[in-house]
Structure 1
Amino acid sequence: MTTRTPTLSSAFATLLVAISLAPLASAQAATTLTFAHAHPVEDSQHLAAERFAERVEERSGGELKVRLFPNGQLGNDQAMIAGVRGGTIDIELSGNPYFSGLVGELNVLDLPFLFDDYDEAHRVLDGEVGEDLLARMRDQDIEGLAFWEIGFRNLTNSRRAIESADDIQGLKLRTTPNPAHIAAFKSLGANPTPMPFAELFTSLETGTVDGQENPVSLIRSANLYEVQEHLSLTAHAYTAAPLIMNKRRFDSLPEDQQRLLREEALEAARYQRRLNQERLAGDLEFLKQQGMQVIEQPDRASMRDKVAEPVRNEFVSKHGSELLEAVKAVKGVEN
């Protein structure tokens, strides 16, 4: 039997097939990262997550893709954080209070009346203090990418208007599991009841709790106005939202992709913050139109006097004063 030498035309055909399959091979080589969070798709967190996913894919030339799972599809906040630590979820976004059980020092960001405005909070989160806090997560198999935000928390309830600290006494309020939040409301005479955000609407609807505390944007996007009558703009605490990634997964990526993820995480954080500011007035007006009774200037001083110092002292007794002093130093830069 004679063995034929491939002709020029057959060799050329083979080359064409190889070229045609190259895009498929490239697509198969792309890395897809799962990104989970608990907020509705209307919320600024999801809009920023979409932007993050688009820019990561674009800048990586399709080598990195991000698949989004919003609205608690992969579990509540604590379950999703556990998923990141265990490697079943790549990227996750939750409020800072859900991390303080893993890294107690993060609780500094949740101290009541710590920040006077958004600019103060952003300077702290995007600077050395924020970098230090994110780095402390590495011992928990977590790589912190950037701080996004929940925002300044305001009180809602179904029982009465809250004009001063005295009006909070006796209310059963859903809180995060954060020690600072729980201690603050105990100091105000409320009954703080920690529970996952995914359970909040039903708990308000059934009267399991009287009220809750979240930013205006989330009160709207989560339809909490349907089961809450009173809103008081207490701005009693600011809540950051760490964007985290499984550390082993992050370390497995090339350095240029690691750098890209960090850069886009911070860019998306700034985008989300702008969205929150742009939507604030409209969100508040919407809540009024839905029938919420809004106290725009409650006596915040009466609340601060009862909670700020004792809760800060409790934090210092557990974690020392170094972090708190570092936050104060950054706050004072432009004061």
Structure 2
Amino acid sequence: MIDRRRGLAAALALAAAFTLGGPASAQTKLKWAHVYEPSEPFHTASVWAAGEIAKRTNGRYHIDVYPSSQLGKESDINQGLTLGTVDMIISGSSFAGKAYPPIGVTYYPYTFRDAGHLLAYAKSDVFKDLAKGYEDKTGNHIVAVTYYGVRQSTSNKPFKTCAEMKGLKIRVPDAPAYLAMPKACGANITPIAFAEVYLALQNGTVDAQENPLTTIEAKKFYEVQKNIVLTGHIVDHLNTIISSSLWKKLSPEDQKIFTEVTQEAAAKATAEVAQREKELLDIFKQKGLTVVEVDTDDFRNTVMKNITFESFGYRKADWDRIQAIKSNM
């Protein structure tokens, strides 16, 4: 009887080993979230990266990518890295700056001269230092940087000077970094979740918003705003961020794979955004929109005069180091 019991126990243990340790359980399922449209390069490149990571790890990781704020607003998915509701996200340094303010210095208006300057920064010691500060504070690891585009303004009524923005109800993302330019110009600032901007513009909750041309196209803001004002106040970027818990679980070999693949994806998306950005002004003009050029020095000087770096938790020393970086384009 004892031998039979031992035999049965051994059989059950063996069955459990196959159930728990077989091919199905060897696969780790991960959630990758962002707030952008499925048609945008940030999503298509992420889907490519998810498949590529699965391929290069022999199927050990299955990543589902959730676009369009499906897993929450941008602030939510950033918190989700800590809460464990998401494993990877794409998000701007403006939101990383909520946890570690110095990394948001890149959102101080007119910090970058152009896309080449931004991309050179992403490979610089300044970025490495700021990314390390963010990781030391949160545990989350930035693996890649994608060019998001130059942020321009759209409005119900055109404006050409900073002073003409006084009293303008403008939507900005719910992060302090975006406040500097409109605040300096005297606008009435209204933080609204990204997924709700179109409706807010349509029903008159706000008179204006600001985003890159590619986002204005993807979110169809041109349907409810007929003036594009080329304020060019922020050369923007997105970070691909891996949660602290996932990064620590990855072997050095898998960390290398995740880093290489996400950086390849970032390069793909960057190229697509830069190319589309060049085409869009003509496309918007063909749609009947008015494109307004402004003296950006007027805006830049007003910001520098009225908004201190310290008021946002930034360090001017970091900004000065960024200014010294030479463009790579």
- TM-score computed with the length of structure 1 as normaliser: 0.86
**Matched-pair contact (CA < 8 Å) for 2:140–2:247:** no
2:12 is matched with which residue? none
Q: 2:191 aligns with which of 194, 209, 216?
A: 194
Distance 2:180 2:144 in 1: 27
2:145 is matched with which residue? 147
**Matched-pair contact (CA < 8 Å) for 1:36–1:92:** yes
Matches within 5 A, 1:1-335: 25-138=22-135, 139-158=137-156, 160-295=157-292, 297-311=293-307, 313-315=308-310, 318-331=313-326
When structure 1 is superposed on structure 2, of 213-222 and 186-195 the one drifting more is 186-195
Distance change (3 Å), C-alpha of 1:279 and 1:258: same
Distance change (3 Å), C-alpha of 1:79 and 1:170: same
Q: Encode CA deviations 1:21-50: one digit per residue, 9 max, x unaligned.
A: 99x933431222210100111112112212
Which amino acid is the alignment partner of residue 198 of structure 1? A
**Matched-pair contact (CA < 8 Å) for 2:103–2:314:** no
Shift of 1:334: 7.0
> Structure 1: where are the runs of 5+ without partners?
1-20
Shift of 1:130: 1.9
Distance 2:248 2:305 in 1: 41
> Structure 2: where are the runs of 5+ without partners?
1-17
> Rg: which structure is higher?
1
SS of corresponding position for 1:100: helix
Distance 1:185 1:168 in 2: 7
- Superposition RMSD on alpha carbons, in Å? 2.3
Distance change (3 Å), C-alpha of 1:135 and 1:263: same
Distance 1:83 1:129 in 2: 27
**Matched-pair contact (CA < 8 Å) for 1:169–1:188:** yes
SS of corresponding position for 1:280: helix
SS of corresponding position for 1:203: helix
Distance 1:304 1:322 in 2: 18
Distance 2:316 2:155 in 1: 34
SS of corresponding position for 1:101: helix
Shift of 1:192: 1.4
Distance 1:189 1:230 in 2: 19
When structure 1 is superposed on structure 2, of 318-327 and 300-309 the one drifting more is 318-327
Percent identical among aligned pairs is 27
Distance change (3 Å), C-alpha of 1:316 and 1:202: closer
